[in-house]
Amino acid sequence: MHDYIEVEFRSGRLGYYQSNPAISIQPEDLIIVEVERGDDIAQVVHMSVSDEDLDSQATGVGSYNILRIAGEEDMEKLKNISLEEEKAANTFQMILERYPFEMKLIETVYQFDGNKLTFFFTAEGRIDFRTFVRELATVFKTRIELHQTTGRDEARRLGGFGMCGNQYCCGSFLKHFNQVTIKMAKDQNLAGNLSKISGPCGRLLCCLNFEEDFYVEEAKDFPVIGTCVLYKDMRMMVLRIDVLSKHIFLSNEDSAMQDLDLEQFSKLEVISIPELEPC
C-alpha cells in the first residue's frame, strides 16, 4: 500500500498526494504540487492519511505528483501573488458596482501558476453571475471561479478567537463541519440562551459536537426528562438532569423545585415514564 500525505491549499481545500521518497518532506513544509490545471503551492498538514479520508476523495488521489519543496524563488513569487490578489480584489469590487446584485467578497486566491483565480463570497440567496464571471475572465485573462460560502466558511477564512479565548476551531484544526443540533445543546443543559452558545457565524458552536458522546453515555444512568415520581407524597416531574454534578431536578404543578442526587432519586417510586404515559 502506498503512503500518502495530506496538504492544504491556500484556498482551504485539502488534497492527498503519494509520498515521494526522493523528496524529504516534513510537517508544515510548503511544497509545489501538480493540480488539475497546472501547479499550485500547499502546506503539509499530515504525514499519513487514513483509508477513510482517502475513500472520501474518490477522484484525483494518486493522479498528481509532488514536484518539490518550495524554495526561495517560490517564496518570493508567493509574496508577489499576495499583492496581485489584493489588486484583483479591488478590481472585483469596482466591476461588481455595475451589477444589480450584492455580494460580500471574503477572500481572493490565485493559483500558484496563475492559471486560476478564485473569489470566495457570501450573498443572500442564489445569484446568477454568469455574465459577471465572463467579464471577470475577460479582465483577468485566466480561469475564474466564484464560490458562495456559508457563515461558517466565512468565519474560518477570516479567522478570530472564540469566547473560550482560543482560535476558532474551524480555523485551526477542523477539517470538516459536522452537524450541530439544538438536541446537543439540550443534552448538555445549554439550551437556555442560544446567543451564548452561537459563534460569530450565527450557528451553534462547533464544540458542542465534541462532548456530545460523553453526555449521551453518562445520561444512560439518568431518568428521561418528563418522568413522574412520587416525592414526599407529591407528584413531581423530572425537569432537568445534570450529568456533571450527577443531580436530577424535579418540579411539580406549583413550580416548586427539588434537586436530588442519583442515589436519592433511585429510592423514589416512579409513577409514569413519558414514552408510555404523560405525567
In this prediction, residue 62 has a pLDDT band, given cuts at 50, 70 and 90, of low
In this prediction, residue 61 has a pLDDT band, given cuts at 50, 70 and 90, of low
Q: Residue 117: which of 156, 152, 151, 88 has the closest Cα?
A: 88
Full-model pTM: 0.69
Residue 114 has pLDDT above 90, yes or no: yes
Q: Please tell me the predicted confidence (pLDDT) of residue 131.
A: 92
Residue 1 has pLDDT above 90, yes or no: no
Q: Which three cell numbers stand for residue 143?
A: 480561469
CB hemisphere CA count around 220 (13 angstroms): 6
What CATH number does the domain located at 222-272 have? Answer: 2.30.30
- Residue boundaries of the structural domains of the chain: 4-70, 78-149, 155-215, 222-272
| pLDDT tens sequence across 252-271 | 888 888 889 888 888 888 88
Residue 120 has pLDDT above 50, yes or no: yes
Mean pLDDT of the chain: 86
Place of cell 453515555: 217
| pLDDT tens sequence across 174-226 | 777 788 888 888 888 887 778 888 888 888 888 889 889 998 898 888 988 88
Residue 58 has pLDDT above 60, yes or no: no
Q: Mean pLDDT throughout 138-148? A: 93
Contacts of 202 (CB under 8 A, 6+ apart): 151
Lowest-confidence range among 3-12, 51-60, 211-220?
51-60
Domain 78-149: which CATH class? Answer: alpha beta
